């Protein structure tokens, strides 16, 4: 059942993306340029992701706080690298009849420093792991729903430590949480690595990233984790009393994942019939279409029986609308509902259920007795297939190159490139200007080999791509 | 065990309030005046309230969305009453190198109209019940944590209907949800009624409110529900196609409850030992203090046994700190933990648990066998006692008056006043100027009697008080 409102992905990828968002009722444009209104389906996806990540954070002792959107401009100006990078992207606000310029948060390192200063006295108070789920604001020239918006939602985890080793280890631990969520729940394959100095977070010592590859050959940075060292602590005079009763600057990390991940989800899994979603993320996991007379007593009882256990375990919606079968099935499918159960006269009579899978459109008729274990298996296969399909596509679209000629060919063919690269901000910049490709991340400590660009020997393998 | 950091409520109510917030670790001041940082305890209270209200909303078919903070100034200027009232309270924002003035949301009627216009075609699309949980911004002169802050969190429910009766009924239904939550979960007694024209929401036809009375004699508006009629629909040309294929303006309601309710919770229940919280709202519901050697095998096993069922049902924290008994009990109590369980050598030996109630400090030693049903009963009594205590205090602090002399005396004695009042914006204003008291709400259709102020006959009983 093809939904004709969805533009073909092959003909027009950007148009396809926008049409999926519209038809799946995920978001609409806000009245101010670059903003979006999350509609119930879009917001529910985000809330499902929030729950999964928040549960992981709780396990490692993270506490949630909520800090103000507004910051003092004078506070904001203290960390120089941070300011240089964020200033052009920052909205400012003011109250009527006031001359005070307020910074509208583009990220909250500074607001967290303000809190940390009041929370931390001695080493006994460390480590401190605080997170917030919030809206964040950046001025953007080219905006696209979820991928790049003036206002977006995210979590920002900010941690404070008494020594470098512990902080460095936290930065990697935060990344591990994102890896787990992306692989097991969002089913998005990725390359994990460190950012180059040119691409790292402004104010960080080291930035780590998970980079996914979209079907159009563009990379998408899914989440990042930063080891901040003592950069912010020194700028904001953030110290703690050590066991020896002297004072030392704290070590910090921050890590974030934003609503941009919804863009990655859409592009990774969806097709020309609309949205496809991992099972645990879908706002409606199982849609039920009842075909014959709903007032018929046998039908009513049978539907009730099929549903009663489902409703306890899954997010289930029964479509009681008077529309056609095809319309009802398609309506669930375009919104990314992983499984549609069809219950018609035959199913009622034979005590069966027809299960339709969203991704493959595969139909399976099962008896009521075998329905529960069969559905469970279907769900496992569904998630596994989604992941494997995306993983295969990623791997065939990564090309290893040995020289700049091969590099240009690969980038022009919309591939992600993997190459030995001797780290150099100058060469990185040149490559970007010539090809539009940026370094996505570094995989360090590989067997030594020659840089594809400079010919110098290096142990760093670097991934390059054009990027969202 | 008195916590000496808490200022005495009787000596200095405002100081007491601030000290409870500080010692219970609910919030700290932000760097920008009028803003607060929600600390883990404060944010957890809000999240618990969010869960309770959101569950009630789901039951009546409300869907959650998330709309942009920024609105166009030109959109904002369309509903005249709304603008007149909100303009002085509104922050404005802009991007660098842009001349466009953006309104930072003080409320979202206008943003919802923008969405509704795209979502509503015909009567089939109605009613539409959308809600958002979000931050909201108002310029405030005199700010106090939770009660009045430049940025606050709230939910705003916006509903759209095809006829007046249905919309009016929704406005009352929304109020009923707040009533239920305040009475059953937050344990805050209130007076429910309609606002006078002078006190109603700017742009509303009718506003309904729940007014609580704080121990210092000031009223606190806990939540409001508004019937907006077609005011916004006309300003934003929001129409739907009727069954007869003509076009008609929609009818709207909106309703909200904000983080200000945390201020009401603190003041309604807390005491000179710190925070007291209703059981279902407390971030930690049960604190466990283990007294004897934690490494002792018998103790370990016994604590494990006591805890294993508790942890499944309640939010439980075990304090394994090496501090004194008194410190540990007090530490839970000052943060509003309703029950502290003490497990010492005697308790381990006799298979007992000592239960300490936060509000009364009452201690009860129970056997492990009777512990579960006993705790359940304790929780019920605890919530009931909290509500009844607050209800009694409210009722003895409401004074019915017959003339202005009595009125002034009562207001000066920090009472809430109940009186027959012939509605008059002019007289309302005069009374406010002379006494500082404002109308809180109207109870309509009472047996006719004389207005305490003008002497004219009226069937309206009005509550007055000084207010937060």
Give the distance from residue A27's alpha carbon to the nearest chain B alpha carbon, in angstroms: 9
Residue A281 is assigned to a structural domain of this protein: no
Count: domains in chain B: 3
Residue A370 is assigned to a structural domain of this protein: yes
- Report residue A77's pLDDT band, with 50, 70 and 90 as the boundaries: confident
Please report residues of A whose CB lies closer than 8 A to that of B111: 30-31, 37
Answer whether residue A3 shows pLDDT above 80: no
Please report residues of A whose CB lies closer than 8 A to that of B86: none
- Report residue A1's pLDDT band, with 50, 70 and 90 as the boundaries: very low
When computed from its CA atoms, the radius of gyration of chain A, rounded to whole angstroms, is 25
Q: CB pairs below 8 Å between A and B: how many?
A: 137
Residue A156 is assigned to a structural domain of this protein: yes
Percent of the residues in chain A that have a pLDDT greater than 90, as a whole number: 87
Please report residues of A whose CB lies closer than 8 A to that of B93: 91-93, 104
Residue of B nearest to A66 (CA): B38
Partner residue opposite B37 with nearest CB, options A65, A96, A135: A65
What is the ipTM metric for this complex?
A: 0.95
Q: Which domain holds residue A329?
A: 286-382
Give the distance from residue B77's alpha carbon to the nearest chain A alpha carbon, in angstroms: 14
Partner residue opposite B114 with nearest CB, options A31, A47, A65: A31
A93 and A242 belong to one structural domain: yes
H or E stretch covering B318: strand B316-319
Residue B91 is assigned to a structural domain of this protein: yes
B112 and B216 belong to one structural domain: yes
3-state secondary structure (DSSP) of residue A351: coil
Give the distance from residue A442's alpha carbon to the nearest chain B alpha carbon, in angstroms: 34
Residue A316's beta-bridge partner residues? A286
A242 and A335 belong to one structural domain: no
Q: What is the CATH number of the domain that holds B347?
A: 3.40.50.800
**Weakly modelled stretches of chain B, pLDDT under 50:** 1
H or E stretch covering B216: none
Give the distance from residue A86's alpha carbon to the nearest chain B alpha carbon, in angstroms: 12
- pLDDT, residue B82, reads 78
B194 and B103 belong to one structural domain: yes
B142 and B263 belong to one structural domain: yes
pLDDT tens digits for A347-363?
999 999 999 999 999 99
Contact B111 A30 (CB under 8 A): yes
> pLDDT: is A378 or A2 the higher one?
A378
- pLDDT, residue B77, reads 87
- pLDDT, residue B4, reads 62
Percent of the residues in chain A that have a pLDDT greater than 70, as a whole number: 99
Q: What is the CATH number of the domain that holds A88?
A: 3.30.930.10
How far is residue A407's CA from residue A169's CA, in Å, rounded to a whole number? 34
Residue of A nearest to B25 (CA): A119
Please report residues of A whose CB lies closer than 8 A to that of B139: 95-96, 98
Q: Is the pTM of this model over 0.80?
A: yes
- φ, ψ dihedrals at B290, nearest 5°: -100, 125
Residue B20 is assigned to a structural domain of this protein: no
Contact A69 B111 (CB under 8 A): no
B175 and B247 belong to one structural domain: yes
- pLDDT, residue B1, reads 43
Contact B31 A64 (CB under 8 A): no
Residue A439 is assigned to a structural domain of this protein: yes
- pLDDT, residue A400, reads 98
- pLDDT, residue A88, reads 82
Mean pLDDT of chain A: 95
H or E stretch covering A391: helix A368-396
Residue A1 is assigned to a structural domain of this protein: no
* CB under 8 A, 24+ apart: contacts of B317-320: B317/B284, B317/B286, B317/B287, B317/B288, B318/B287, B318/B288, B318/B290, B319/B287, B319/B288, B319/B289, B319/B290, B320/B290, B320/B294
Q: What is the CATH number of the domain that holds A460?
A: 3.30.110.30
Give the distance from residue B64's alpha carbon to the nearest chain A alpha carbon, in angstroms: 5
B135 and B190 belong to one structural domain: yes
pLDDT tens digits for A106-165?
999 999 999 999 999 999 999 999 999 999 999 999 999 999 999 999 999 999 999 999
B309 and B453 belong to one structural domain: no
- pLDDT, residue A4, reads 62
Contact B30 A70 (CB under 8 A): yes
Residue A311 is assigned to a structural domain of this protein: yes
Please report residues of B whose CB lies closer than 8 A to that of A98: 139
How far is residue B337's CA from residue B276's CA, in Å, rounded to a whole number? 7
A196 and A166 belong to one structural domain: yes
A264 and A304 belong to one structural domain: no
When computed from its CA atoms, the radius of gyration of chain B, rounded to whole angstroms, is 25
Residue of A nearest to B75 (CA): A31
> pLDDT: is A84 or B26 the higher one?
B26
CB B43 within 8 A of CB B21: no
Contact A115 B69 (CB under 8 A): no
Within 10 A of A346 (CB to CB), how many other CB atoms are there? Answer: 13
* Averaged pLDDT, A45-52: 98
Final residue before a domain boundary, out of A356, A382, A408 = A382
Final residue before a domain boundary, out of A324, A356, A382 = A382
Partner residue opposite B38 with nearest CB, options A28, A66, A114: A66
Final residue before a domain boundary, out of B236, B269, B302 = B269
- pLDDT, residue B111, reads 95
């Amino acid at each position: 059942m093809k939904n004709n409102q969805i533009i073909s992905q092959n003909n027009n990828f950007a148009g396809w993306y926008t049409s999926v968002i519209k038809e799946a009722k995920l978001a609409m444009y806000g009245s101010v340029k670059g903003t979006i209104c999350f509609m119930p389906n879009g917001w529910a996806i985000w809330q499902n992701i929030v729950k999964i990540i928040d549960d992981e954070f709780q396990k490692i002792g993270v506490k949630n706080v909520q800090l103000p959107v507004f910051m003092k401009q004078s506070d904001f100006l203290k960390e120089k690298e941070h300011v240089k990078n964020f200033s052009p992207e920052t909205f400012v606000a003011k109250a009527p009849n006031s001359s005070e310029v307020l910074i509208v948060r583009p990220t909250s390192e500074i607001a967290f420093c303000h809190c940390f200063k009041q929370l931390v006295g001695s080493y006994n108070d460390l480590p401190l792991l605080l997170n917030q789920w919030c809206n964040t604001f950046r001025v953007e020239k080219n905006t696209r729903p979820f991928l790049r918006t003036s206002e977006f939602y995210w979590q920002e985890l900010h941690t404070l430590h008494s020594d470098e080793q512990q902080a460095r280890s936290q930065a990697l631990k935060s990344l591990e949480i994102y890896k787990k969520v992306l692989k097991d729940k969002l089913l998005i394959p990725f390359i994990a690595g460190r950012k180059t100095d040119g691409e790292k977070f402004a104010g960080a010592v080291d930035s780590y990233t998970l980079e996914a590859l979209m079907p159009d050959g563009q990379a998408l940075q899914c989440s990042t984790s930063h080891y901040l060292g003592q950069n912010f602590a020194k700028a904001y005079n953030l110290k703690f009393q050590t066991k020896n009763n002297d004072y030392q600057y704290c070590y910090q990390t921050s890590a974030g994942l934003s609503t941009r991940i919804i863009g990655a989800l859409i592009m990774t899994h969806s097709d020309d019939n609309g949205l496809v979603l991992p099972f645990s993320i879908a706002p409606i996991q199982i849609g039920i279409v009842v075909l014959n007379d709903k007032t018929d007593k046998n039908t009513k009882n049978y539907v009730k029986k099929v549903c009663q256990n489902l409703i306890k375990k899954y997010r289930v919606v029964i479509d009681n609308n008077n529309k056609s079968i095809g319309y009802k099935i398609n309506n669930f499918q375009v919104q990314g509902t992983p499984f549609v159960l069809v219950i018609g006269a035959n199913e009622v009579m034979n005590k069966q259920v027809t299960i339709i899978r969203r991704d493959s459109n595969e139909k399976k008729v099962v008896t009521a007795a075998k329905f529960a274990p069969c559905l469970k298996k279907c769900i496992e296969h569904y998630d596994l297939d989604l992941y494997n399909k995306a993983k295969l596509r990623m791997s065939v679209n990564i090309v290893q190159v040995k020289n700049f000629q091969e590099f240009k060919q690969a980038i022009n063919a919309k591939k992600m490139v993997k190459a030995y690269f001797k780290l150099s901000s100058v060469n990185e910049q040149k490559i970007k200007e010539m090809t539009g490709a940026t370094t996505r991340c570094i995989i360090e400590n590989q067997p030594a080999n020659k840089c594809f660009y400079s010919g110098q020997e290096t142990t760093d393998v670097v991934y390059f791509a054009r990027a969202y």
